[in-house]
A and B are shown apart, each in its own frame.
Chain A
Amino acid sequence: MANALDRRRQAVGLGFVTPTVLVILAILVYPVLQSFVLSVGNSEIDGSGGYRFVGLQHYAELMQTSRFWNSLKVTLIFTAFSIPLELMLGIGLAVLMNEHFHGKGLARLAVLFPWALPTALNTLMWRWMYNTDYGLFNAVALQTGLAEQPINWLGDQTLAMASMVTVSVWKTSSFMALIILAGLQSIPRELYEAGRMDGMTRWQEFRQITLPLLTGPILVALIIRSMDALRAFELPFNLTDGGPVSATESLSLYAYKVIFDFIDFNLGSAIVVIQFLVIFAMSLIYIFTLRKKD
């Protein structure tokens, strides 16, 4: 009896899961497997006819391509600079939003907007403000005397990277803030009241009560955002097209160019497989850190 019931529930459950699994298999898993297969072979670009297994040849080629190493470096630098900044700002914003004050609705909306807008269009907005000859930033810089010559925001290699990080931080700090805010709100009020009894300062409260209890939400936010940053595509695509030289060419952008500019699906697939491994390794590191803390 119990067995029959269980079997029925299993069948119904499987039925419920099937549409999702089918769509995910078709849209995510199959293409991903195809990328792995493509990355260790040579094939006609139209997919017709011969596929020849070549082992790790494309990976070996990448290891000797400076542009690949550059794009890996760009991706990692971009991630390494934007994530900590987003995290710090995110925590700050979350603490701020956890306070009671007038006009909170408007403030919350302001924080939410940058996240809700399409990255591609956000990027265009910023690109316009960065414009060397007509942009807002140079106008202000020149008129206030902060700069004597127009600053070449997107034309200088270091500045371009800094500009890209700025756009990313502007857009996603709010996302960090929201996740951390939820964590904040789940912290029992009593803890703070007890703290106040003990005469803790605000900073002590934050260090000793808030931060330790936020480890979970912070790690989740870090995982999600790092994955995003490591896949960054439309940000460099619309801001700089990877330039100047290749100073902002991310792995995704490089892969896209290899696939669709050079029409080399095999080499391009090798790049995205490596990118996948980097992302995978990054999440493992986070998860192990999380486990340890628990």
Chain B
Amino acid sequence: MKMKLLGAGVLAAALFAGMGTALAADLVLSIGSRGYGPTVEKNLAGFKQANPDINVDWNKVSDVPNDARKLYVTGLTAKSPTPDVFAIDVIWAGEFAQRGWLQPIEGLVGADVIKAYNPSFLEAATLDGKIYAAPLYVDGIHLFYRTDLLEKYKLEVPKTWQELTAASKTIMAGEGPQFYGFVSMWGKIEGLFMNWLAFTNSNGGGFYDKDGKVAVNSPANIEATQAMVDMLYKDKIAPESVLNMRPDDARTLFQQGRAAFLMVQDFVYAPLAGDDSAVKGKFDFTRNPYFEGHPDAHSTTMGGWFLAINPNSKNKEAAAKLVEYFTAYDQQLTAAVEENRAPSLPAVYADPKMAQAAVLTKLGKDFDVGVVRPSATTGSLYPKVSEIMQTEVTSALHRQKTVEQALNDAQQQIEALK
């Protein structure tokens, strides 16, 4: 009860913070219908109650980021005034801001509201000192594993890739055909680049070298990428079908009890723990493995979604209110407890209610070894960078090129981008 009151108070504070004169307005909000779970609907109902004179139309965009992106790009290119508020993947923030497609939120969203966001998240949406979007939630990729199988074969939770390979082989030998060691999202999608960053960073490599220069073809990266190839063809712990998997394809296999290890984003936790899951109560997760000798390596590739305001919007003040409402304490707490969405307000983590979201707290720990993608640093070039990396890593995974050649080609193409 007390909690509720406190929540309401914070909610009211958040509301009043941004409230000038009440203005009648029609807004269009673009966000996926399932990406943020049922929270969107709940938030819109709450917002309507608090702002009866603001009418929000929810344009459910595709939950496939690339499809949603195309939609935004076409609209923003043509200076469409709608959507007023739209959800963007963290990796688009730099590019969109550089193209002038995002309205700086300072002055619209209350200064105290902005100050409350996790500053490291804000950084991803900051260009030349201006903040262009408000963080809604963050996620990362983790290693999910079968507790029952590790126990059955008397194995430890693998800390390194070498241990994971050995454990996979043992389990696969015992479980027979049609059972896989390791599955992940290695289709030619953004998730593959996230995977590659997790692998290379966990070997002390990464997209940039220590001086901030693009170093895609560094020896550490070649070694890590080769390890990915070997998982497919030498150790055969990953099925070749992993090369067309999206995250959920991998999740489904794991949930059917057909794989020992799964490396994808946090969203899978809820379905895996669901009542109709074959692995309910038989799995857990940990940070992604590292290569021997690199225990301090960062390997949790991070992602997340932001809310941005269209610079051509006719109702920027109302739009800002909507952004504030969605990212306010209470709404984030609900999304965290009910949908496992990691909040962008550090204060929420301290809420006693977060005890119900113990998983989230544990997921949050993996963010300590977080890796961000080079989206803010490469700005409008990021789509091309990611595409090049996806293509070249894929051609290495398909053994169309040697790892070294693929990464050399990637390095060369990225250096040639202007």
Contacts and interface: CB of A to CB of B under 8 A. Distances in A.
Interface string B53-77: 0000000000000100110011001
Given A244-B188, A245-B188, A263-B77, A155 B241 contact: yes
Main secondary structure of the interface of A (DSSP, over half): loop
Given A46-B77, A152-B243, A242-B188, 17 more contacts: A67-B391, A132-B239, A132-B244, A152-B240, A152-B241, A152-B244, A155-B243, A155-B244, A157-B398, A241-B188, A243-B187, A244-B243, A244-B244, A244-B398, A261-B69, A261-B70, A263-B73
B242 to A, nearest CB: 8
Contacts of B314: none
Contact of B387 (A45, A132, A261): A261
Contacts of B253: 133
Contacts of A67: 391
A240 B394 CA distance: 14
Instruction: Output the residue of A47, A132, A156, A157 with the most chain B CB within 10 A.
Output: A132
Given A132-B244, A150-B239, A45 B77 contact: yes
B77 A245 contact: no
A260 interface: yes
B277 interface: no
A252 to B, nearest CB: 14
Interface in B284-321: none
A246 B78 CA distance: 30
Given A241-B188, A245-B391, A261-B387, A46 B78 contact: yes
A155 B79 CA distance: 39
A273 to B, nearest CB: 20
Instruction: Output the residue of A150, A152, A154, A243 with the most chain B CB within 10 A.
Output: A243
Contacts of B249: 133
A128 interface: no
Interface of A: 45-48, 67, 132-133, 150, 152, 154-157, 240-246, 260-263
B162 interface: no
B400 A245 contact: yes
B202 to A, nearest CB: 25
B177 to A, nearest CB: 8
Contacts of A246: 391
B395 interface: yes
Contacts, number: 65
23 contacts: A46-B77, A132-B239, A133-B241, A133-B249, A133-B252, A133-B253, A150-B178, A150-B239, A152-B240, A154-B244, A155-B240, A155-B244, A156-B240, A241-B188, A242-B188, A243-B187, A243-B244, A244-B244, A245-B391, A260-B73, A261-B69, A262-B383, A263-B77
Instruction: Output the residue of B74, B243, B253 with the most chain A CB within 10 A.
Output: B243
A131 to B, nearest CB: 8
Nearest to A160: B244
A110 to B, nearest CB: 31
B362 interface: no
Contacts of B69: 261
Nearest to A256: B70
Contacts of B244: 132, 152, 154-155, 240, 243-244
B384 interface: yes
A171 B400 CA distance: 31
Contacts of B77: 45-46, 263
Interface in B201-250: 239-241, 243-244, 249
Contacts of A242: 188
Contacts of A133: 241, 249, 252-253, 258
Contacts of B66: 261
Given A133-B253, A243-B394, A260 B74 contact: yes
A23 to B, nearest CB: 22
Contacts of B70: 260-261
A45 B383 CA distance: 16
Contacts of B241: 132-133, 150, 152, 155
Contacts of B78: 46-47
Which 8 A-B residue pairs are closest in the complex by CB-CB distance? A132-B241, A155-B244, A260-B70, A243-B188, A155-B243, A152-B240, A245-B394, A245-B395
